[in-house]
């Protein structure tokens, strides 16, 4: 991302095998302030280079949806989303999408994939977006509860201290 773009909030970091099984990939799922979900590959244990740019999930879905009807989905469809640097990036992204259960491998097709129901992924990411957005934001109820608990703990400590003093003097 360039310095002019808004900051990406990392929602999740995970690892998976590459589609060939030759290396372990680490990828991140993030969200912009407007809650649009993005994915990027950030590490590879193998020697293959990759593009570490954030790619919007909607752009990935649109690129895959543009594939020929009735044909398996391949990483070739993702190539236009990556700006040079590596031909590994689309295949690595496919591995991350499979790990997130957005795509599934077709039986009998070495490099063919199909869309799976993305609802599970969407629900998980919505929860993470909400949790991250609300982190550090205290509501009046939370502040009141925290104050009440702190006051109660202080009273218990005082009582315990008084008991110790009483026991020591007897």
DSSP string for residues in the chain: --TTSPPPEEEEEEEEE-TTSSSEEEEEEEE-TT--EEEEEEEESSS-------EEHHHHHHHHHTSPTTS-B-GGGGGGGS-SS-SSHHHHHHHHHHHTTSEEEPTT-SS-EEE--THHHHHHHHHHHHHHHHTT---HHHHHHHHHHHHHHHHHHHHHHHHHHHHHH-
User: Per residue of the chain (170 residues), what is the pLDDT tens digit?
Assistant: 445 556 899 999 999 999 889 999 999 999 999 999 999 999 999 988 898 999 999 999 999 988 888 889 999 999 999 876 678 899 999 999 999 999 998 887 777 888 888 888 888 898 888 886 666 554 444 444 444 444 555 555 555 555 444 445 55
Q: Any idea where the domains of the chain sit in the sequence?
A: 9-134, 139-170
């Amino acid at each position: 991302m360039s310095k002019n773009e808004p900051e990406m909030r990392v929602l999740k970091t995970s690892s998976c095998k590459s589609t060939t099984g030759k290396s372990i990939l680490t990828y991140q799922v993030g969200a912009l302030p407007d809650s649009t979900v993005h994915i990027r590959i950030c590490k590879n244990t193998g020697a293959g280079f990759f593009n570490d740019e954030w790619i919007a999930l909607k752009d990935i879905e649109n690129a895959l949806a543009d594939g020929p009807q009735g044909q398996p989905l391949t990483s070739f469809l993702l190539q236009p989303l990556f700006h040079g640097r590596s031909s590994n990036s689309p295949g690595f992204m496919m591995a991350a999408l499979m790990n997130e259960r957005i795509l599934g491998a077709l039986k009998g097709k070495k490099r063919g994939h199909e869309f799976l129901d993305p609802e599970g992924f969407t629900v998980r990411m919505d929860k993470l977006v909400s949790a991250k957005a609300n982190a550090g934001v205290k509501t009046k109820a939370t502040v009141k509860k925290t104050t009440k608990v702190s006051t109660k703990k202080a009273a218990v400590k005082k009582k315990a201290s008084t008991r110790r003093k009483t026991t020591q003097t007897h």
